[in-house]
Amino acid sequence: MMKESKRLKWEKQLEKGRTYHIWMRGVLGWGLPLAFLYTLVMTSWSGQNLTMDREFYGNLLTALILFPAGGIWYGAWTWKILKMKVEQSRS
């Protein structure tokens, strides 16, 4: 059986709405951090120094477009899961 506090927490998230959830969880909570992490890791693996050169900024710009766009999908997916869990907890 699910704890009441967890169900209430999920319901509060639902009350904030789908758009808020997608932006906060998907774009800001998943997409942006991964964009920066990806850029740092790829720069490190390619043997470059962390110098702020054209290639670094190009990689960062690309990551700042692609990962937040993926964050929209991720946020929508987690929203669907959240709704499903809340509905299951109510029954």
Give the DSSP letter string of 56-74: HHHHHHHHHHHHHHHHHHH
More confident residue, 1 or 14: 14
C-alpha R_g of the chain:
18
| pLDDT attached to residue 38 | 94
pLDDT in tens, 20-73: 999 999 999 999 999 999 998 888 887 766 677 888 888 899 999 999 999 999
Domain boundaries, the chain: 34-91
Neighbours of 33 (CB within 10 A): 12
Residue count (the chain):
91
